[in-house]
Chain A
Amino acid sequence: MEAVTSSAVPEPSPRSDDETWVVIPLYNEADVIGDVIRGLRESFRNVVCVDDGSTDGSASVASEAGALVVRHPINLGQGAALQTGIEYALSQPTCRYIVTFDADGQHRVEDALAMVDHAREDDLAIVFGSRFLDDRTRPGWMKRVMLKTVVVVTNLTTGTRLTDAHNGLRVIRRDAAEKVHLRQDRMAHATEIVLQLNRTGLPWAEHPVELLYTDYSKAKGQSMLNSVNILVDLLVN
Chain B
Amino acid sequence: MWIQIILILAIVAIGFIFMRRSGSDRHLAIQRLLLGAFILVAVLSVLFPGWLSWLARLVGVGRGTDLLLYAFVIVFAAFVVTQRRRAVAQDAKITQLARRIALLEASMDPGPAVVSDSSDEDQSQAVIRHNEAEPSRSTSSNPG
Contacts and interface: CB of A to CB of B under 8 A. Distances in A.
Contacts of B91: 185
B95 interface: yes
Contact of A69 (B95, B99, B103, B112): B112
Interface in B59-116: 91-92, 94-95, 98-99, 101-103, 105-107, 110-115
A64 B113 CA distance: 8
Given A70-B105, A88-B106, A183-B92, A83 B99 contact: yes
A84 B112 contact: no
A74 B98 contact: yes
B106 A70 contact: yes
A67 interface: yes
Classify the secondary structure of A's interface with B: mixed
Interface residues of B, number: 18
Contacts of A59: 114-115
A87 B103 contact: yes
A185 B95 contact: yes
Classify the secondary structure of B's interface with A: helix
Contacts of B106: 68-71, 88
A63 B113 contact: yes
A16 interface: no
Nearest to A64: B112
B103 A76 contact: no
A66 B112 contact: yes
Contact of B101 (A50, A73, A87, A185): A73
A59 B105 CA distance: 14
Contacts of A63: 112-115
B114 A80 contact: no
A50 B102 contact: yes
Interface string A70-100: 1111101000100110011001000000000
Contacts of B110: 68
A84 B112 CA distance: 18
Nearest to A50: B102
A3 to B, nearest CB: 27
B103 A73 contact: no
B118 to A, nearest CB: 12
A60 interface: yes
Residue among B92, B98, B105 facing the most chain A CB atoms (10 A cut-off)? B98
Contacts of A84: 99, 102-103
A76 B110 CA distance: 23
B13 to A, nearest CB: 19
A76 B95 contact: yes
B98 A73 contact: yes
A90 to B, nearest CB: 10
B103 A70 contact: yes
Contacts of A71: 102, 105-106, 114
Nearest to A185: B95
Closest CB pairs A-B (n = 6)? A63-B112, A70-B106, A60-B115, A84-B99, A63-B114, A70-B102
Interface of B: 91-92, 94-95, 98-99, 101-103, 105-107, 110-115
12 contacts: A59-B114, A60-B115, A66-B112, A67-B112, A68-B112, A69-B106, A69-B114, A71-B106, A74-B94, A76-B98, A80-B95, A88-B103
